[in-house]
Amino acid sequence: MIEGLKPYAEYKESGLPWLGRCPKHWKLRRTKILFYERVQKGFPNEPLLAATQTKGVVKKEDYETRTVTAQKDLHLLKLVEKGDYVISLRSFQGGIEVAHHKGIISPAYTVLKPSQALDFGYYSIFFKSRNFIDSLSLFVTGIREGQNIDYQKLSRVEMPFPPPDEQAAIVRFLDHANRKIDKFIRAKRKLITLLNEQKQAIIHHAVTRGLDPDVPLKPSGVPWLGDIPAHWEVRKIKSLVFAFGGMTPSKTNINYWNGVIPWVSPKDMKIREINNSKDHVSTLALQHTGIKLVQPPAVLIVVRGMILARTFPVAITSAPVTVNQDIKALVTKPCLRSNYFVSLLTGIQGDLLLLVEIAGHGTCCLRTDSWESFCIPLPPVKEQENIEAYLEQKLSIQNTAIARTEREIALMQEYRTRLTAYTVTGKLDVREAAAKLPDLPSDVEESVDETLEQVLDLEPEDD
């Protein structure tokens, strides 16, 4: 159990498998008693809203540009008041969303108005807790992707209803806990950023200056590169690789998909070495479409996608793969080692990003003539091997620290999930702890005092 917190003195069976036992003095109320369905239309001048799993229900104009905006029949959209809850089409994946703004939303959504006895914060947390989200699978209707929640079934199900002052105490406690957890995670992510910047500097120096600090230099003739070792060459990328483009076999032909051949897309380009992918194509796709099987080792680069607005993903393959149209597969010639090429592209990604252009609909792209004509430094093959070995040894400390820090973040996020679930379902009594916490301004970021420090041991232990 969480250190410093104890269970309630008495419990009772809730009769709900996903909830189990709950505090004896907590009431159970049907959803339709706690929430009234709001079906109000005819407000075309209200702002359009979008239901998101990460930000709740927000103004569509504030939610980037990834949703389709309705242009007509606005009077048919449902009214949502601030503090309402919205059951979205895929709410069983991320919970029921709370509205942060007044506006209108698609009639396909169910809008719930909370009764006066409910604490705004408690149910916004409860509806996003793991136990409740898992329970939503019991109320899913439909068999296609994007199934709906059947509100008629959900409305008859009982929900825990703590006393109003206890709802407020739970919100107060979790608000303070989340502030501290967020502070911890921000610090760890900042550390990862610094470690990656350090890695980038080490790689950049090794692949542009070599390992010998006393080596004679010469002008490279490339503005971004400056001087390079006198015995190195400068070559265009197109003279050093064989390039293979990708494609997407017809989605309507199911015989082209769900095979065993990896089909790499930008979403797979999150690791340095790739031997598999999320999607796969069949041998039939190789036989009847223009898609090509690329043998390893091949260097993969992303040439189209919004990801190019912030980074330049590079990977090397260790198994035969196919790629989609947003990726190029580059097979290096004997004078360029593929592993070294990956390190080189990683080290100079800031310069490569300068080649990225904005195409139609705001899509970022790296044109073929741009990357093919890009000049890179080319050491002798033996020196490439030495640089590879040096980087593997030199970066091991940073890589270990990054992996450990990412694990700490994952543990803390899991800690938050468990703490929330235990608290909103009454497995832990936080009333006394919440009463000892100071008031914190909702719009000011402050550190949490010693009271919470004593209640929560937030530094995750090693596995």
Q: What is the pLDDT of residues 408-434, one digit of tens each?
A: 999 999 999 999 999 999 999 999 999
Q: Are 408 and 460 in contact (CB under 8 A)?
A: yes
d(CA 122, CA 99): 14
pLDDT at 20: 92
Q: What is the DSSP secondary structure assignment for residue 112, as one 8-state letter?
A: E
d(CA 433, CA 418): 17
Q: Are 407 and 7 in contact (CB under 8 A)?
A: no
Tens of pLDDT, residue by residue over 259-307, are 999 999 999 999 999 999 999 999 999 999 999 999 999 999 999 998 9
pLDDT at 115: 83
Q: Greatest CA separation found in the chain?
A: 81
Token couple for 307:
């990801």
**Which whole number is the average pLDDT over 241-256?**
95
Token couple for 166:
């206890």
d(CA 331, CA 384): 16
To the nearest whole percent, how much of the chain has pLDDT over 90? 68
Token look-up 């159990």 returns 1
Tens of pLDDT, residue by residue over 183-215, are 999 999 999 999 999 999 999 999 999 999 999
d(CA 146, CA 106): 15
pLDDT at 58: 87
pLDDT tops 60 at residue 52:
yes
Amino acid letter for position 305: G
Strands 273-274 and 314-317: parallel
Q: Are 180 and 449 in contact (CB under 8 A)?
A: no
User: For the packed helices 381-394 and 164-209, what is the interaxial angle rounded to 10 degrees?
Assistant: 150
pLDDT at 91: 53
First-residue to last-residue Cα distance in the chain: 17
20-34, 45-59, 334-348: lowest mean pLDDT where?
A: 45-59
pLDDT tops 90 at residue 358:
no
Q: Are 417 and 174 in contact (CB under 8 A)?
A: no
Q: What is the DSSP secondary structure assignment for residue 127, as one 8-state letter?
A: T
Q: Are 183 and 443 in contact (CB under 8 A)?
A: no
Nearest to 295 by CA among 314, 312, 317, 280: 317
Tens of pLDDT, residue by residue over 74-102, are 888 999 999 899 986 555 567 788 888 89
If DSSP codes are grouped into helix, strand and coil, which group holds residue 123?
helix
pLDDT tops 50 at residue 450:
no
Token couple for 190:
């900042």
**Which whole number is the average pLDDT over 37-49?**
91
pLDDT at 139: 80
